[in-house]
Amino acid sequence: MAVCDICDTPGQGTIVKAGDMSRAVRNGFNPFKAGLAPDIMEEMVGESSYDSWRESAINGPTSTTDWNVCADCIEVLKPYLGKAAKSEDSHTCDFCGKIFARSDTVAMVDDSVAEKMEQLCGFHRKGQASALDPAGRLRWVACQECTNQFHQAAKGFLKKQ
pLDDT tens-digit map of 9-60 = 998 888 888 888 988 888 889 898 888 887 655 555 555 677 888 888 888 8
Q: What is the pLDDT of residue 41?
A: 58
Of 18, 20, 45, 42, nearest to 32 by C-alpha is: 42
SS3 of residue 47 by DSSP: helix
pLDDT tens-digit map of 111-138 = 899 899 889 988 888 767 777 777 878 8
Exposed / middle / buried, residue 82 (Cβ in 10 Å: 0-12, 13-18, 19+) = exposed
The answer to whether residue 87 scores a pLDDT higher than 50 is no
